Chain A
């Protein structure tokens, strides 16, 4: 992947926002990859969780937004409990999701969910999903 790194992105508001919402220090990550090694959803991700935090460190918001990763993450917290640097990556993922959601952008269109699916799913699937994937 080709990336252009500049001081502009490195010191951008984006990086500060991610750190503020997630309450994590992004440079703590030293790219060991343990998070991605254990991520149960990584088979479906465009970019791996460790690549996402690397992009976040560098302030490359567009590359993160283009990838499906943060919307595939299931908030299972496996990465967070295993990170040798104590980075709570699940919280970084959440901060990245919120930066988009707070612009009122939804990942699921609730009116489009078929009636049968709504009847089948338990409440916690819907409440949980709407809270993580919609504004």
Chain B
């Protein structure tokens, strides 16, 4: 099979080509990496990703992230927007294999070419995003109006999502200890919007909303960030979905209106690139390049010069 993917067809939203583009960025063979860099450069040159709203959906397993993604897709499709989804599930530490089950909760019309759902295995990175997730998001951003990234939802490395998304939606469910977990884990600083899902379960949801609001207020005061909206939703009945959608859009609109989007994205990209660098080349690689600060600075320079993430990584790579 040829490794070359026609970027024009990807940009034309041809589903098979979009799928092949993602398979290409997942491909670990050296010859594939070259083709991937080429493709990402072409997509980046199109400038189409600039307007895309990238939404990260995170939170503990079972709270209803996928069901919520499904409801959000419906909402955005009803507003005429195209949606690409990347759903990341954990890889088994035993075998390296993975069961990708999010798709089962995401309802879609198989004839609708304006939606695209792809599952990806985290590839053993503890709870974090898949190695190829950033690149896959780049592909999807060039193609769709909105890109949703659902993460594995465990552990501290949840913070990864911040690097690849413009807006982070954190999902919890009432009365599960999630709220406490959430405060303890220090994730309080990441979300821009919080959904307390399964509100159909009743009074516990109301209480959870109040608890979260006060925790987040404290967090926001401490960090100086804007206080996230907390909304009750029921992904199964549709209650609150419109509000979440509006809150996500409002967050993005504020960043765009402030003119900060390009700078914010550059900074996120650099942080993500630094993380990938460390994963790929290990501590030794980082040391060889003069430590993590220096690596980040070098990557930032590359990115500012118009390099794509893969290119930046390749040019900053340590000597073999």
User: Do the two shown chains form a genuine complex with each other?
Assistant: no
Chain B residues near A (Cβ < 8 Å): none
